[in-house]
Structure 1
Amino acid sequence: MTFEGVAAAGGVSKDFLYRIPELRARITKLREQQLPTRRTFITSQYAEASELDTSSIVRTLTAKLATERASHRQELAELNQALAAAHGQILALKRRLPNAESGDGHHISG
């Protein structure tokens, strides 16, 4: 089991795997468990166990990714609301100024 293999199976970057401490520890542990087996013939039982471990990691990654996406969507919505409010405040302030400048540097005659 390698970080590269898990990243490919999960559709994420290796950097993503390294940044999540739980995933990094799990992959490292599974890889260490495989070291003695790499020196011997891999049985079908071992291959099945490896697939199950990889599936577990992929499920964990998928859940983590869904959570992060939802969080990012919420943050984006909040930022868009704040931006709209700021634009409204700017417009209100411009309307209060008698000789407000337009965006091109020319004065707007009132």
Structure 2
Amino acid sequence: MTPLPDHLRQATRARTQEAENRARAALAELAKAGEPISFTAVARLAGVSTDFLYRSPELRSQIERHRVKGGSASAAPANPPADSSTSAAVRALSARLTLQQQTHREEVAALRKALEVAQGENLDLRRRLARYEAD
């Protein structure tokens, strides 16, 4: 495997550092708000993956320390983050589906209106044709 050029290596380091800073800020924000701290909650708030947090020894130890500080709360959030991430996905898909349904309803309403106009024009043309043929 060929080594990365310096500019790519620097960009990678900068991106990683930025993600770590976001994770630290998210951890501080959760702690300040008194929210349950879990890898999923920090990852969601920071916009990073849970894998990223687990692979970073410093961040991992900070998150685990905060979870231990929570005492009895540390056992409770163990399951809800998975559920909340699942329900977050369900909520996102549900919102998308609702938006699509609304769009389809509007399209159907517009098409029905256009069909009514076309049927009215068709009826008018038939009446004119019937008068023309009667003469």
- Tell me the TM-score normalised to structure 1 length: 0.49
Which structure's CA Rg is the greater one? 2
* Structure holding more helix per residue: 2
Structure possessing the higher relative contact order (Cα contacts under 8 Å, 6 or more residues apart)? 1
- Tell me the TM-score normalised to structure 2 length: 0.41
